[in-house]
Structure 1
């Protein structure tokens, strides 16, 4: 007589054959319906794009139809209207809501002194702090004096400070989680978050006059006075390509898939 399977092997085999439920799928449809019923129509629309299961629950329950008919009858007069008519009504309502929010919505403004420019202003009356970049809950400020400051937006406190050499001016900057990349004079300079600073070699990192700069690892793009955008590889520290434009570049918008010139 052959031995039967052990008590521990069968459940393991059964578990391996089943698709593990994610946390977002762990709630029963009836429970989701109850939760969704407490939301306003704009939150419901956001929930439809969270995942397929939530979208299916909302479509089956007709909650969007009901909320639209109950609260916005002037946009949605028939509770039996088609899905297409519902989408058109929601689009009109969203436009109105967005416009109203811009005109009458509440705005919280937090202000704090980021730089003391009194001494600099006495020597250079036209100097001002006019650059900032915000990423990952941090704000980097500078351009105008000889220091860049990294601020925590949770506490409004300076968490790190980076000095600019006295003999050059800071034109523009960008940053990520590990470094600050600055356009300093006619060179690209890097400040590591651990405090070390390095500068591109003169034969590779110079250009006529840089007006603006953006950085997304592994490249930095500098817009120059001569109408070129120079793309630098941050690891080889070499200019990988030069893009020529008809006019002077005053701004650069850079994503991982798109370079936009202003």
Structure 2
């Protein structure tokens, strides 16, 4: 098609349109995959000689104009559709942040494992829980109902897991302490400070990187294919995922304090962390400098997470059992929650599980946690954030989903 356009400059405008039609059809029928530019002069003369009259040329010109118009219309529709998707995504994120900051909440709790669950992940409306026994279980984030389960072989020790919409991934490795997954690779952190990179499809180790001289406590893989690895010395190493080259070290002003959890913000190139001294940390990956470091808990922070795309709130949980929502920009506490045992719980039963609906109590920033019984605030071993939801595990056999609603006007 491009060759016929170039011929317009050396020949008549009518003939060029005919070339567009005949050569376009001929090229499609041959199945050779050759472009119009590959036709030599003899072939072009042969094509011209087979044209019946100028009406063929006129019709070809009209068809090509229509096709060009339709193509432009399709591109405009795609652009409009993309704008609508972006607009509604922004609306959803605004409602999510508003619900977390100001909206009411309730907790749905159920027995999920025969022994205990210490890790949870939530993605695309599904929750995966496990570690503590040999079972991973999949639940609906909306109804909290059981969906499926995966049995870990008895010969293996499960230390961490992750999943996407189509498959789940577990990590069992000698001396493995943590893992992070980004299809098609999984990175496993070990107690000797090394990270092992595995291909999930070939099941082979592709690389081994030395990231710290102390045990790796947590890992995350960024969208820019960087590995962030926390350590017991209170630093976070940043390395290239493919070469293993160390690009920098994120340091805390409050070191030594072990980094216990990491999460990455896709929107602002930020790394969030929780430490053993109760500090929440935020570093800018572009400068490798801390933006803020606030002590938000008197004890260890085990887990931090936020909804992908959300630039407002960060959920934090740890040994004191208080679920905290903090500001991503400043690190200040927005709200803190525990389950309210003073109000009766409603329950709904099915053939497999009983789900209790519990009320939520907001904790004042200056409240003395020693005055709140630990049975009302069991330790939060892990949390994961979804749209207006947070799932938590507590080292026990039950699972909790905290559901938030927009504040009514």
Q: TM-score, normalised by structure 2?
A: 0.36
SS at match of 2:202: coil
Q: 1:216 to 1:236 in 2, by over 3 A?
A: same
Matches within 5 A, 1:12-23: 12-18=64-70
Matches within 5 A, 1:100-139: 101-102=147-148, 107=150, 117=174, 128-139=175-186
Counterpart position of 1:259: 314
Counterpart position of 1:236: 287
1:198 to 241, 247, 256: 247
Distance 2:227 2:261 in 1: 15
State whether structure 2 residue 272 is matched by structure 1 residue 221.
Answer: yes
Conserved 8 A contact 1:186-1:206: no
State whether structure 2 residue 198 is matched by structure 1 residue 151.
Answer: yes
Deviations 1:131-162 (A, max 9, x none): 11222132211232332111111111112211
Higher RCO (C-alpha 8 Å, min separation 6): 2
Please report how far the alpha carbon of residue 108 of structure 1 lies from its aligned counterpart in structure 2 after TM superposition. Answer: 6.6
Distance 2:70 2:239 in 1: 50
Please report how far the alpha carbon of residue 7 of structure 1 lies from its aligned counterpart in structure 2 after TM superposition. Answer: 4.2
Distance 1:109 1:12 in 2: 60
Conserved 8 A contact 2:178-2:216: no
Count of aligned pairs = 171
Deviations 1:215-261 (A, max 9, x none): 24411112123432111000111111334424431111243315221
Point out the structure with the larger helix share. Answer: 1
Counterpart position of 1:50: none
Counterpart position of 1:186: 234
Q: TM-score, normalised by structure 1?
A: 0.53
Q: 1:206 to 1:115 in 2, by over 3 A?
A: farther
Point out the structure with the larger strand share. Answer: 2
| Structure 1 unaligned residues grouped into runs of 5+ | 23-93, 118-127
| Structure 2 unaligned residues grouped into runs of 5+ | 1-13, 15-54, 76-141, 158-170, 318-409
Distance 1:216 1:161 in 2: 26
Please report how far the alpha carbon of residue 95 of structure 1 lies from its aligned counterpart in structure 2 after TM superposition. Answer: 7.0
Please report how far the alpha carbon of residue 10 of structure 1 lies from its aligned counterpart in structure 2 after TM superposition. Answer: 0.8
Counterpart position of 1:76: none
Conserved 8 A contact 2:177-2:217: no
Distance 1:95 1:231 in 2: 34
Distance 2:58 2:252 in 1: 69
Counterpart position of 1:10: 62
Conserved 8 A contact 1:205-1:237: no
Conserved 8 A contact 1:179-1:190: yes
